[in-house]
Amino acid sequence: MPNSNLTLKCQKFTVQEGLLLKGGQLGHIKLTYEECKTFAHTSPFAELPCHVSDVAAGKPELLNITASAVVLPVEFADKTFGILAEKIITFIGFLKETGCPLPLKNEVRGEACFRIVAGNDTAKPFISTNATIQEECPPRLVLEGLEPTQHAGATIKDKLLFGINTATITGKAVLFAIGAHEGKTLGVLLL
């Protein structure tokens, strides 16, 4: 979040629940970013005295951020596939009396786009996201709430907001199924 001079670095994440559907239907996911710390976004990239507090999960003592999203398949202009996490709404909280220069409760909402960079339709696809991937994510049709200046067929670009400021997720992950679905293939196929 460059406009807030804030970078959050989380060492890992865990999927708490998820449902991926066949046929391009909506799915959902709930995940927890774990072991999060805050740093200045600009040089010297010093750690900030902002103790992340997982208020969304009701566990303020944990350095975690819990978020939920609806997931959709997407196809990029270069014919590669990805996942759009949309309708993200969560709060990033910070503990009081730590000297944190940011508000103690910050709303995060919007969409984040992930590209499948290797292994689509395998047991362990590799995904990545960053500012470039977010920008390359295809615009989507406005299905409801058209502005007076928009017309049927209007599109919008997805973005993620931290308060009123644009935010970007940067990261990589290997996805895999567990439990009864362990070893099953994951991926995107649009017809």
- Give percent above pLDDT 70 in the chain: 87
Domain boundaries, the chain: 2-181
pLDDT value of residue 124: 92
CA–CA dist 186, 159 (Å, integer): 25
pLDDT value of residue 77: 92
CA dihedral 177, 78, 161, 71 (to 10 degrees): -30
- Mean pLDDT score of the chain, rounded to an integer? 82
Helix (H) or strand (E) holding 18: strand 7-19
Answer whether 74's CB lies under 8 Å from 127's CB.
no
pTM comes to 0.82
Q: Is 58 helix (H, G, I), strand (E, B) or coil?
A: coil
Q: Is 157 helix (H, G, I), strand (E, B) or coil?
A: coil
Answer whether 135's CB lies under 8 Å from 94's CB.
no
Maximum distance among all alpha carbons in the chain?
Answer: 54
Q: Tens digits of per-residue pLDDT, 24-54? A: 556 788 888 888 888 888 777 888 888 888 8
Q: How confident is the model at residue 116 (pLDDT cuts 50, 70, 90)?
A: very high
Q: Tens digits of per-residue pLDDT, 83-93? A: 888 889 888 88
Backbone phi, psi, residue 5, to 5°: 50, 45
Helix (H) or strand (E) holding 93: strand 81-94
pLDDT value of residue 115: 95
At position 63, the amino acid (one-letter code) is L
Q: How confident is the model at residue 154 (pLDDT cuts 50, 70, 90)?
A: low
pLDDT value of residue 191: 59
Average pLDDT over residues 154-173: 84
Helix (H) or strand (E) holding 135: helix 131-136
Q: Tens digits of per-residue pLDDT, 56-77? A: 677 777 888 888 888 888 889 9
pLDDT value of residue 125: 92
HSE of 62 in the Cβ direction (CA atoms, 13 Å)? 14
Average pLDDT over residues 110-138: 92
